[in-house]
Amino acid sequence: MMEGGKAKGLFAGPGNETANASSPSALAIRCAVVYSAASLRMTKRAKIVPIILAAGSSKNLGMPKALAQFGEKTALLIAVENCFGFERPIVVLGCDAARVRPAVPRAARVVVNERWREGQLTSLLRAMDHVPRAAAVLIYPVDHPLLQKRTVAELVGEFRKREPPEEIVMPRHKQRFGHPILLSAALRDELRRAATAREVVYRIPERIRVFKTKTSAIYEDFDTPDTYRECLRKFAART
């Protein structure tokens, strides 16, 4: 997610100036030229596979984030339900996989990332081994329990509206970016060659389409007892 104009999650990188570039780069123009009308229509109709990232350690929290309870649901169940209506979600487990796996809904597919200590990009690539090459991916960290299905649906709607050379849709509330993030299939090979996801996302600013949302849930996550309690408070106030 973005904080103070800087991202601190999977797509950490430059601040607001990245998404607000005013003049297209030469590389972006070349990217736009290669699009045909037919290929653009195909990418707009592309299948979308949600990837729910739940592999990391939760040592500061004292329990797996995926199992954190919000009302009658876990953070994991909230994430999976918010992704109904797209392709079958992929849940990536790693640390505490044996503990979390029984809680994964049948509606989702599980993959285990044995390399989770090497960072979130390894989890993303592990999931993409099971994603059709022509499909887009919705990157959804499990620790965003205040997200609601309508926000995810609006984000996908924005993805369907994109124009060349846009390949990424990122949500923003006021001056802060967050999650989920949508990546088109065109970025698949770049991700596999990259050292980090952020270098792909920010390589060509013109590829980013910003989705302005009214909810701060896109960046309200938890990783400590205090931030968990704050999310619980906001969740209870909403219901």
88-128 pLDDT, tens per residue? 999 999 999 999 999 999 999 999 999 999 999 999 999 99
Q: What mean pLDDT value characterizes the chain?
A: 87
> Is domain 38-213 given the CATH code 3.90.550.10 in the classification?
yes
Give the C-alpha separation, 136 to 182, whole Å: 7
Q: Are 132 and 47 in contact (CB under 8 A)?
A: yes
Closest-CA residue to 132 (of 196, 4, 42): 42
Give the C-alpha separation, 230 to 87, whole Å: 32
Say what the pTM is. 0.86
pLDDT at 29: 46
